[in-house]
Amino acid sequence: MIDPSKPDLEESVNVTEAHDRVVRGAAAAARENKIKENGAEPVSLTVMVLCAIPLLSAGWALGNAGTLFSYKDTVKDGYVRVIPADDEAGGPPPKDALAAYMAKGAKLYSKCSGCHGPDGKGDGNAYPSLAGSAWVTGETERLAMVILNGLSGPASTGKTYGVMPAQGAGMKGEDLGALMTYIRNSFGNKTGDVVTKQMGAAGLEISNARPKVGTAVTGEELAADHTKNLPGDALDPKTMLDPITLEPAEAK
Amino acid sequence: MSQASTTNPAADAARRAEIDRSLRHPVMFFFTSGAAWLAVAILLGIISSAKVHSPGFLDGVSWLTYGRVQPAHMSALIYGWGCQAAFGMLVWLMARLSRQECRAAGLILTAGHVWNLAVSIGLFGILAGKGTGIPWMEFPSFAWVPMLVSYAAIAIWSMIQFKVRPEGHVFISQWYNLAALIWFPWVFVTAHFLIHGFSGSPLMAAAVNAWYRSALVFLFFIPTALAAAYYLIPKVTGRPVYSYTLSLLGFWSLAVIAPWAGMQKLAGAPIPAFLPYLGAAATILIAIPAIAVSVNLLKTAASAWDTVVNSPSLRFTVAGVIGLLVLGFAATFLNVPAILPLSQFSLSGYGFDILALYGVFSFIAFGMIYFVVPRITRREWLSSRLIKIHFFLSVYGLLTVALVAVFGGIMQGQAQEDYKQPWENAMEYAYPYAVASTLSWCFLLLSNVFFFLHLALMWLRLGRRSSHPTLLGHAHHDDLHDATHGPEGDIDNAGPGSAPAHSH
């Protein structure tokens, strides 16, 4: 506002002129109020009572926090509810044995479908078909050995595909049983029987007891040692099972 | 310093007019392009909301699938509208309160264009499927660098203006203004650097992201809105702020509490177990600054209620302050331990965000825009009817979106907890609420199309040439015609004393 050529001129604004100009050009700025000094009302009791509500609630939340600044406790007990075991509607409804094993096996098959294909047909070149395979639908111990240890050399049709890697790592008896039940009853295969989890567990034991444990099986070894069914009691495919535990469920 | 406030009202007014004039281009650009982004954001919001209840809607268009259109909606709302409106407000307010003309308007305008470019590219990136999948940080990861650089070019001048302000009083608005200017880069850089810059645990990245979403609201949008509200309400009513003690309480409680909030969104996740509860407690405590500030401002406004009703700026601002009170109660209600599991995975979180971004921030931003634009364009708003339409449709739309999402979310959360029922059941509970929220987004779209048109006309300098403000009272109410302002409808007059355009 100060004209540099007139540093001593105190009144740099021609009031009348400025007023006219401002009112004409900047009416909005001209009609503004000035901001007043702050008021000094005390904080009322109502405000304090209102603020007590969030304070108490925050205390409630902090009370749930466990040890503050403890970076080791990463799981808060009780936040994720555990469904009580005796809850009458707890758990999913029972299914017949074949369906229960099939459902579990279908999930596990996703690991196999990369090579054998979602339709189980393989590609006829590097990966053999599971559909209609004599080893898939035939004796269960032979199939279990192939799944658990992999296979080198000719497959059931006599044709040699690539080497199948072992799939047994981390498998439990019920996984093996469910997977075998699934591939024996899918892609057009229809044995109609259930490979139970007890049979699967037996398969794992037999596999671990092999003389050449840790290597892929070959057609000769299968023919010599494993052309039989896994030991264990057969399960009626119509038995009602709990789909999670695969244990028999009482009929409702 | 010649800028120090003088006792000469005409010189003061001239000074104010010069400051306004120096900021005309950048501020008008931020407001106008922000309003355009708001309309885009709401349009995307309608589409994404419609997909919640009618999944078949536009299902053949791959770039409008829910996973793209929902983040595009939020990003346009936050970075296109929210940040740009905030920049316009902060820059103008700091210049006015520090009584400094802006000497870098060209640079700020350029930076504003860079910001817009980054937001546009980011948004196309999201719609093209290149989004990061990190909520509120969906822009392809390169976008945050130009955004940060242009922010620095926009904000640094306001900090300098504060530094060289005339000595003496610091206005309450300036506390919040400076805080927002400093907190934004802190929050923005921390989150983007920790998430995009380091390949740490993805779990902690999720936690940082949850903190970012909360911090951006409580440490940037809310303080920006409060800076404007603490300016507009005493300014337009001409009354002193009710209580300085409450002002201090409101500011410092927000500054101390808000940085802790946010991680309650990850309750039950395997991060250190105290973090979500600390976050929940802090979010609950946000109610304290909300109560302190809104009581303070509402008491101030209540002393001149006629002005509040008549002034477009005050109507929006006071609505936003009431929104803040509601936000405080919602923060408490949604995060107490009994409700947290219900609100965590439902519509509630979205409703809370919309309440904060639209119900508080945008309302006060509208109030500020209605105040600032006549000053920098030197034209008055064209039509009080357009402003009223904007106000009422916004209020109805917001009430429906926020309440429906908050309470519908609780219903949905309760249905989700009912593990004996199939999951679809929870979706059926949420269905009517989702339909209502689509409808209310339509209201908001309509309201903001009117707003954008009105603002665009002002931007084109097609506003009324008059010395009479556009008020919202009855069109021919005698009380509105005082000696200073002349009769309403007195188009293109030359101020008081000139011949009236028509006799009344």
ipTM score? 0.83
Helix (H, G, I), strand (E, B) or coil at B464: strand
Give A22 or B152, the one with higher predicted confidence.
B152
Q: What torsion do the CA atoms of A137, A140, A143, A147 make, to the nearest 10 degrees?
A: 120
CB contact under 8 A, B467 and A64: no
**Using CB atoms, which residue from B270, B272, B484 is nearest to A70?**
B272
Give pTM, 2 decimals.
0.76
Spatial separation of the C-alpha atoms in residues B139 and B118, rounded to whole Å: 9
CA distances to A85, B179, B183, B262, B275 from B215, rounded to whole Å, are: 42, 13, 9, 7, 15
Question: In this structure, what are the phi and psi dihedrals at residue A140, rounded to the nearest 5 degrees?
Answer: -75, -30
Spatial separation of the C-alpha atoms in residues B437 and B439, rounded to whole Å: 5
Q: What average pLDDT does the segment B101-119 reach?
A: 96
Give A184 or B407, the one with higher predicted confidence.
A184
Residue A125 has pLDDT above 50, yes or no: yes
Instruction: Report pLDDT for A18.
Output: 65
Quote the crossing angle between the two packed helices B424-459 and B363-377, to the nearest 10°. 10
Residue A70 forms contact with B (CB below 8 Å): yes
Instruction: Report pLDDT for B405.
Output: 78
Residue A48 forms contact with B (CB below 8 Å): no
Residue B70 has pLDDT above 50, yes or no: yes
**8 Å CB contact between B121 and B150:** no
The minimum CA-CA distance between A86 and chain B, rounded to whole Å, is 14
Q: SS3 string of B419-444?
A: CCCCCHHHHHHHHHHHHHHHHHHHHH
CB contact under 8 A, A39 and B243: yes
Question: In this structure, what are the phi and psi dihedrals at residue B480, rounded to the nearest 5 degrees?
Answer: -80, -15
Tens-place pLDDT, residues A26-83: 778 878 888 888 888 888 899 999 999 999 999 999 988 888 888 888 877 777 777 6
| Ordered domains of chain B (ranges, CATH) | 12-464 (1.20.210.10)
**8 Å CB contact between A230 and A141:** yes
Instruction: Report pLDDT for B463.
Output: 87
Residue B488 has pLDDT above 50, yes or no: no
Residue A53 forms contact with B (CB below 8 Å): yes
Give A230 or B225, the one with higher predicted confidence.
B225
Tens-place pLDDT, residues B313-332: 999 999 999 999 999 999 99
Instruction: Report pLDDT for B504.
Output: 38
Cα angle for residues B162, B168, B170 (degrees, 5° grid): 50
Instruction: Report pLDDT for B487.
Output: 47
A151-159 long-range Cβ contacts below 8 angstroms, 24+ apart: A151/A216, A151/A217, A151/A218, A152/A216, A152/A217, A152/A218, A153/A218, A153/A219, A153/A220, A154/A219, A155/A128, A155/A219, A156/A128, A157/A128, A157/A133, A159/A128
Spatial separation of the C-alpha atoms in residues B319 and B312, rounded to whole Å: 11
Give B234's contacts in chain A (Cβ within 8 Å). Answer: 35-36
Helices (H), B168-264: 172-192, 202-216, 222-237, 244-257
Instruction: Report pLDDT for A107.
Output: 87
Average pLDDT, chain A: 82
Question: In this structure, what are the phi and psi dihedrals at residue B492, rounded to the nearest 5 degrees?
Answer: 55, 35
Residue B171 has pLDDT above 70, yes or no: yes
The minimum CA-CA distance between B12 and chain A, rounded to whole Å, is 8
Tens-place pLDDT, residues A169-227: 888 888 888 898 998 988 888 888 888 888 888 888 888 888 888 788 888 888 888 88
| Ordered domains of chain A (ranges, CATH) | 95-241 (1.10.760.10)
CA-closest candidate to residue B120, choices B140, B135, B94: B140
Q: Is the dihedral of CA B381, B382, B384, B385 positive or negative?
A: negative
CB contact under 8 A, B270 and A25: no
**8 Å CB contact between B39 and B445:** yes
**Using CB atoms, which residue from A30, A65, A67 is nearest to B13?**
A30
CA distances to B18, B143, B158 from B88, rounded to whole Å, are: 17, 21, 11
Q: Is the dihedral of CA A21, B12, B459, B313 positive or negative?
A: negative
- Among A45, A79, A80, A88, the residue to mutate for chain B (most B Cβ within 10 A): A79
Average pLDDT, chain B: 89
Amino acid at A189: N
Instruction: Report pLDDT for B455.
Output: 95
Q: What average pLDDT does the segment B46-55 reach?
A: 91
Q: What torsion do the CA atoms of B229, B230, B235, B236 make, to the nearest 10 degrees?
A: 30
CA-closest candidate to residue A246, choices A108, A97, A85, A109: A97
Give B331's contacts in chain A (Cβ within 8 Å). Answer: 54
Q: What average pLDDT does the segment B127-145 reach?
A: 93
Confidence band, pLDDT 50/70/90 cuts, at residue A245: confident
Amino acid at B475: A
CA distances to B40, B215, B236, B351, B404 from B400, rounded to whole Å, are: 20, 25, 29, 10, 6
A53, burial (CB in 10 Å: exposed 0-12, middle 13-18, buried 19+): middle
Q: What average pLDDT does the segment B234-246 reach?
A: 93
Give A39's contacts in chain B (Cβ within 8 Å). Answer: 240-244, 300
CB contact under 8 A, A12 and B467: no
Which residues, numbered 88 to 127 in chain A, qualify as contacts with chain B under a Cβ-Cβ cut-off of 8 Å? 89
Residue A18 forms contact with B (CB below 8 Å): yes
DSSP line for B274-319: HHHHHHHHHHHHTHHHHHHHHHHHHHHHHTTHHHHHH-HHHHHHHH
Instruction: Report pLDDT for B75.
Output: 97
Q: Give the DSSP H or E segment for B91.
A: helix B83-97
Which residues, in sequence order, are bridge partners of residue A40? B243
Residue B492 has pLDDT above 60, yes or no: no
Instruction: Report pLDDT for B206.
Output: 93
Helix (H, G, I), strand (E, B) or coil at A40: strand
Among B234-243, B338-347, B393-402, B486-495, name the one with the lowest average pLDDT: B486-495
Residue A76 forms contact with B (CB below 8 Å): yes
Number of Cβ within 10 Å of residue A229's Cβ equals 16
DSSP line for B346-375: STHHHHHHHIIIIIIIIHHHHHHHHHHHHH
The minimum CA-CA distance between B73 and chain A, rounded to whole Å, is 32
Give B123 or B464, the one with higher predicted confidence.
B123
Confidence band, pLDDT 50/70/90 cuts, at residue A97: confident
CB contact under 8 A, A38 and B247: yes
Among A29-33, B3-7, B24-28, name the one with the lowest average pLDDT: B3-7
CA-closest candidate to residue B355, choices B406, B280, B430, B294: B406
Confidence band, pLDDT 50/70/90 cuts, at residue B442: very high
CA distances to A78, A90, B415, B424 from B420, rounded to whole Å, are: 19, 7, 10, 12
Residue B123 has pLDDT above 70, yes or no: yes
Instruction: Report pLDDT for A190.
Output: 85
Question: In this structure, what are the phi and psi dihedrals at residue A241, rounded to the nearest 5 degrees?
Answer: -120, 155
Q: What average pLDDT does the segment B50-76 reach?
A: 91
Give A237 or B223, the one with higher predicted confidence.
B223
Instruction: Report pLDDT for B493.
Output: 43
Instruction: Report pLDDT for B110.
Output: 97
Quote the crossing angle between the two packed helices B144-163 and B83-97, to the nearest 10°. 10
Spatial separation of the C-alpha atoms in residues A58 and A52, rounded to whole Å: 10
Give A141 or B173, the one with higher predicted confidence.
B173
Residue A43 forms contact with B (CB below 8 Å): yes
**b/e map A93-128, b = 16+ CB within 10 Å:** ebbbbbbbbbebbbebbeebeeebbeebbbeeeebb
Instruction: Report pLDDT for A160.
Output: 83
CB contact under 8 A, B235 and A72: no
The DSSP secondary-structure symbol of A165 reads P
CA-closest candidate to residue B368, choices B237, B228, B468: B228
State how far Cα A71 lies from the chain centre.
25
End-to-end CA distance of chain A: 93
**8 Å CB contact between B20 and A29:** yes
Query: Tokens 């479908």 label which residue?
Result: A113
